[in-house]
């Protein structure tokens, strides 16, 4: 088995940075939509706060920024793969010395970059417009954000696996799959408001523990270690399953000749 090459990993990252550099539409996706989300829901939260007299604006903005980190990281991985599908570039990539691990690690770096740019932009606007500094939460925020990144990567790997197995018509999952977890993630509301069946489902969705923990942070409380343990344990299970499903789909696509036909 070929060793991991940092040069090849960086080459994958550089390939996507060049695409980003010359594409207005990609910059719009990276900067425009997070800005619109923050402004729209930030002002809605301010309106609710003025009527109800609560600190909901900080809870809402914090949840919005963290959810965007998850979405950008997941799409950075999944859409990064689709860029090569649309360009019919997969065959050329894997005919080179590039290994599958090199390729995936390069996409992971790209997803971190996209999530970082979007979160820094939203964080700056939060301070500038709403006097809200999410990043002042320190270590507690890091623990929650890192959990979201790991979960985003597991969803991204499953998305790629679906495209490898079903072909390019499955690309809709790059935008839709993460949203499947949204109702059960308690992003903008506590788990307690969900119907009993949804509350039971939420117990198996790691993001529900992350966002419940975020609300505790904004209330000046420490996130219980049990919450973090449950979140990271479930994420580890999701990640292991996603790696297995992705590896199986990639091997199957090679055996069945699908890898050369994706994008045609």
Q: pLDDT tens digits for 152-195?
A: 999 999 999 999 988 888 888 888 899 899 889 988 888 988 89
Residue 88 near residue 130 (C-beta atoms within 8 A): no
CB-neighbour burial class of residue 231 (10 A; exposed 0-12, middle 13-18, buried 19+): buried
Question: Within a 13 Å sphere around the CA of 76, how many CA atoms are in the beta-carbon half?
Answer: 32
Task: Report how far residue 75's alpha carbon sits from residue 175's, in angstroms, rounded to the nearest whole number.
Answer: 7
List pLDDT tens digits, range 103-120. 999 999 999 999 999 889
Dump pLDDT digits (tens) for 204-238.
999 999 999 988 888 888 888 888 999 999 999 99
Cβ–Cβ under 8 Å, residues 62 and 214: yes
Distance between CA 125 and CA 149 in Å, rounded? 22
pTM: 0.87
Ramachandran sector of residue 257 (left: φ over 0; alpha: ψ -120 to 50; beta: rest): left
């Amino acid at each position: 088995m070929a060793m991991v090459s940092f040069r090849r990993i960086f080459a994958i990252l550089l390939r996507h940075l060049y695409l980003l550099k010359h594409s207005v539409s990609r910059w719009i996706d990276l900067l425009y939509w997070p800005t619109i989300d923050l402004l729209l829901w930030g002002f809605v939260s301010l309106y609710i706060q003025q009527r109800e007299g609560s600190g909901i604006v900080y809870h809402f903005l914090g949840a919005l920024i963290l959810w965007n980190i998850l979405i950008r990281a997941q799409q950075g991985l999944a859409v990064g793969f689709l860029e090569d599908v649309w360009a019919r570039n997969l065959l050329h990539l894997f005919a080179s010395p590039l290994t599958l691990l090199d390729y995936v690690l390069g996409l992971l770096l790209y997803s971190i970059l996209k999530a970082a740019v979007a979160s820094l932009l939203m964080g700056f606007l939060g301070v500038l417009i709403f006097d809200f500094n999410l990043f002042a939460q320190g270590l507690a925020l890091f623990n929650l954000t890192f959990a979201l990144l790991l979960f985003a990567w597991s969803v991204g790997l499953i998305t790629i696996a679906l495209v490898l197995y079903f072909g390019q018509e499955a690309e809709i999952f790059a935008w839709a799959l993460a949203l499947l977890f949204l109702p059960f993630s308690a992003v903008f509301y506590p788990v307690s408001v969900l119907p009993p069946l949804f509350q039971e489902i939420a117990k198996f969705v790691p993001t529900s523990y992350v966002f419940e923990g975020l609300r505790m942070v904004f209330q000046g409380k420490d996130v219980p270690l049990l919450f973090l343990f449950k979140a990271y344990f479930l994420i580890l299970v999701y990640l292991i399953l996603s790696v297995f499903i992705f590896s199986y789909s990639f091997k199957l696509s090679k055996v069945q000749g699908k890898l050369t036909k994706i994008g045609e």
